[in-house]
């Protein structure tokens, strides 16, 4: 430094503060450069208000809340669809209740205690009203199904016949006997009572209706009704008028 009078010394002395100044000034970062460039552009194109920090943070929060709501709706829809799918699967797996199986010997009860004793004597009066041909055909088909042991088909055919004519005494009594064979005492008694009330109250149909009621009332222990039904059997047996 004392020999700084030489030109080389002057250069060395002048260069030392410059190096120190360069070391003291920080190197601009990328964000600082971007801010400097934006301020330069704002200076050239006009004044531009810098965006506040709260505004910068508000937009991500709003988007996050909207995404949460959207996720909740999607979850709710998926849950409803899954519940419906499970319900449908359970409904498909569930089988309908099987029809009641007739007790052993019930079919013989119908034949032995209702139909055979009611055949009666050919000399007894039989009254038949005008019947629908389709109803008669369905009753015949139901009898054939019953003879083969297919009581479900017999019941279905008789239901079709009753939809055509619900006041046919023969079809009503036939349905009562099918229900008795299946062990459905309540329905058997209901159809038999209706057949007796709508029928001629004489002849074979009358006897079959009352004999069905006798069996039903015996099974339920209604002995007074059993007695009245047995007394009514005598009224079903009517001699035909004499022919001249």
Indicate whether 100 pLDDT > 60. Answer: no
pLDDT of residue 11: 43
**pTM above 0.85?**
no
Domain assignment present for residue 138? The answer is yes
Domain assignment present for residue 145? The answer is yes
DSSP readout, the chain? -TTTTSHHHHHHHHHHHHHHHHHHSPPP-HHHHHHHHHHHHHHHH---PPPPHHHHHHHHHHHHHHHHHHHHHHHHHHHHHHHHHHHHHHHHHPPPPPPPPPPTTHHHHIIIIIIHHHS--TTS--------HHHHHHHHHHHHHHHTT-HHHHHHHHHHHHHH-TT-HHHHHHHHHHHHHTT-HHHHHHHHHHHHHHS-SSHHHHHHHHHHHHHHHHHHT-HHHHHHHHHHHHHH--PPPP--
Indicate whether 24 pLDDT > 50. Answer: no
Least confident of 48-62, 96-110, 138-152: 48-62
Mean pLDDT of the region 9-36: 47
* CATH number where 200 lies: 1.25.40.10
pLDDT digits (tens, 9 = 90+) for 148-184: 999 999 999 999 999 999 999 999 999 999 999 999 9
Mean pLDDT of the region 68-83: 68
pLDDT of residue 220: 93
In this structure, the answer to whether residues 155 and 78 fall within a common structural domain is no
Tell which wins on pLDDT, 194 or 70: 194
With cut-offs at 50, 70 and 90, classify the pLDDT of residue 123.
Answer: low
Domain assignment present for residue 14? The answer is no
In this structure, the answer to whether residues 225 and 157 fall within a common structural domain is yes
In this structure, the answer to whether residues 168 and 226 fall within a common structural domain is yes
In this structure, the answer to whether residues 224 and 111 fall within a common structural domain is yes
pLDDT of residue 186: 95
In this structure, the answer to whether residues 66 and 176 fall within a common structural domain is no
Mean pLDDT of the region 113-138: 80
Domain assignment present for residue 124? The answer is yes
In this structure, the answer to whether residues 69 and 168 fall within a common structural domain is no
Domain assignment present for residue 29? The answer is no
pLDDT of residue 36: 47
Domain assignment present for residue 10? The answer is no
pLDDT of residue 50: 52
In this structure, the answer to whether residues 147 and 228 fall within a common structural domain is yes
Domain assignment present for residue 38? The answer is no
In this structure, the answer to whether residues 77 and 157 fall within a common structural domain is no
- For residue 77, give its domain range: 60-90
If one counts the domains in the chain, the total is 2
In this structure, the answer to whether residues 74 and 116 fall within a common structural domain is no
Give percent above pLDDT 70 in the chain. 55
Domain assignment present for residue 212? The answer is yes
In this structure, the answer to whether residues 184 and 213 fall within a common structural domain is yes
Indicate whether 137 pLDDT > 90. Answer: yes
In this structure, the answer to whether residues 135 and 195 fall within a common structural domain is yes
In this structure, the answer to whether residues 76 and 180 fall within a common structural domain is no
């Amino acid at each position: 430094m004392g020999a700084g009078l030489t030109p080389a010394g002057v250069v060395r002395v002048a260069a030392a503060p410059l190096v120190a100044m360069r070391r003291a000034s920080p190197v601009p970062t990328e964000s600082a450069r971007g801010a400097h460039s934006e301020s330069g552009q704002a200076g050239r194109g006009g004044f531009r208000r810098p965006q506040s920090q709260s505004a910068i943070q508000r937009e991500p929060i709003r988007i996050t809340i909207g995404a949460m709501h959207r996720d909740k709706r999607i979850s709710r829809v998926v849950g409803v669809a899954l519940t419906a799918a499970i319900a449908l699967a359970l409904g498909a797996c569930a089988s309908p209740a099987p029809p009641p199986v007739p007790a052993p010997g019930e079919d013989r009860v119908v034949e032995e205690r209702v139909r055979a004793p009611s055949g009666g004597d050919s000399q007894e009066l039989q009254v038949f009203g005008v019947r629908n041909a389709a109803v008669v055909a369905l009753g015949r088909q139901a009898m054939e199904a019953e003879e083969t042991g297919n009581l479900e088909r017999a019941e279905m055919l008789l239901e079709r016949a009753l939809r055509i004519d619900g006041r046919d005494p023969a079809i009503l009594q036939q349905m009562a006997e099918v229900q008795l064979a299946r062990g459905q005492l309540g329905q058997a008694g209901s159809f038999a009572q209706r057949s007796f009330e709508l029928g001629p109250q004489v002849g074979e149909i009358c006897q079959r209706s009352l004999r069905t009621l006798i069996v039903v009332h015996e099974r339920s222990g209604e002995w007074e009704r059993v007695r009245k039904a047995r007394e009514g059997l005598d009224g079903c047996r009517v001699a035909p008028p004499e022919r001249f």
